[in-house]
Amino acid sequence: MLVLMNVNATDEQTQAVCKRVEELGYRPHPLPGATRCAIGITGNKGAVDADSLSQMPGVAEVIAVSKPYKLVSRDMKSENTVVRFEGSDATVGGTELALMAGPCSVESRDQLFHAAEAVAKAGARFLRGGAFKPRTSPYAFQGMAEKGLELMAEAREAFGLLIVTEAICHESIALVDQYADMIQIGARNMQNFALLKLAGRSKKPVLLKRGMAATLDELLMAAEYVMSEGNYNVVLCERGIRTFTDHTRNTLDISIVPAVKRLSHLPIIVDPSHAAGKREKVAPLARAGVAVGADGLIVEVHCDPDHAFSDGAQSLYPDQFASMVRDLRGIAEIVGRTMYQPTSAAVTK
């Protein structure tokens, strides 16, 4: 159920509706739009008694939402969500393409800083780097944990980047929440519902990667978990799915981008690195991602990929990343997006 307020409804009227929803034993989710506010209602098992709400001052309409996902749906909010970050003018979902780049894992101060400097110079606004790594083998490098987060935070200050890093469990999400600008939930945890609820209680934007066997509906329901806890700043990410092909690590399902745009107001970015698995395929897939209408990219970059602790084969060298970004500028313009142009002073430290 969702309550659509009048264009000229006052804040007091919106608050009064929220209060009434609470009195009925449900949870209100006010999502202000460009022209009017919509209030999503969750926590109800069946239909909500619409009459008691539809007569309230300022209410335009009470609408039943038939889809299983409600807060992520375009029915709830017709215009695109633009995710913003405290202390920065970078956005995800606005006109500017969001460019996130950096190593798969944080390995050392030197490794992280070299990569951070390179991606900042090329035009990235976000530094990626995992401090908690979900690895297939328990014997593989598991990440530097809190020390890795400290280094990410240092790199943020040194290069003026926002930091996005993965949380894999209850303990790590508490730490990631303290340090990061954006909490990444990885493909393997897309349906870790307890973790999604914790991300939903954070004030930080969440980057939610599609599970490698997840359908569009399952991805949207995972985002609904986060939003149902009150965190409305969710960015989806297509990173490739498992198919029968073996010429890539995963199959980049770029068709999910327009499919998401049709059903949801949430931004979606593309990760060409985990789809490709091999660095020579990363730039072509990144170009396809921008062309298909993604709101940004997340790309793995390493200065010495042959010695990377994880995902070296799919990591771009800094000069390859810079040349990929230059090529993307032309495509971005055609699809009506802008790209950040760094000033050299901003990245020299």
Residues that bind ligand PEP (CB under 6 A): 104, 130, 134, 186-188, 209, 239, 274
Binding segment toward Mn ion, per CB under 5 A, in 102-110, 149-157, 231-239, 258-266:
102-110
Instruction: Report yes or no: 253 and 241 within 8 Å, Cβ to Cβ.
Output: yes
Q: Which of 187, 237, 311, 324 binds Mn ion (CB under 5 A)?
A: 311
166 binds Mn ion (CB under 5 A): no
In the complex, the smallest distance separating the C-beta of residue 187 from ligand PEP, rounded to whole angstroms, is 4
In the complex, the smallest distance separating the C-beta of residue 133 from ligand PEP, rounded to whole angstroms, is 7
In the complex, the smallest distance separating the C-beta of residue 47 from ligand PEP, rounded to whole angstroms, is 38
104 binds Mn ion (CB under 5 A): yes
Which one of Mn ion, ligand PEP, none interacts with residue 94, CB within 5 to 8 A by kind? none
CA–CA distance, 240 with 248 (Å, rounded to integer):
9
* The pair of three-digit structure tokens given for residue 342, joined into one six-digit string: 């760094």
Cβ closest to Mn ion, residue 104 vs residue 199: 104
CA–CA distance, 27 with 82 (Å, rounded to integer):
23
Binding segment toward Mn ion, per CB under 5 A, in 40-48, 84-92, 100-108, 215-223:
100-108
**Beta partners for residue 207, in sequence order:** 184, 235
In the complex, the smallest distance separating the C-beta of residue 13 from Mn ion, rounded to whole angstroms, is 48
CA–CA distance, 241 with 275 (Å, rounded to integer):
7
In the complex, the smallest distance separating the C-beta of residue 297 from Mn ion, rounded to whole angstroms, is 14
CA–CA distance, 158 with 285 (Å, rounded to integer):
30
User: What sign does the CA torsion over 107, 308, 297, 226 have?
Assistant: negative
Burial (Cβ within 10 Å: 0-12, 13-18, ≥19) of residue 118: buried
Residue ranges that bind Mn ion, judged by CB under 5 A: 104, 311
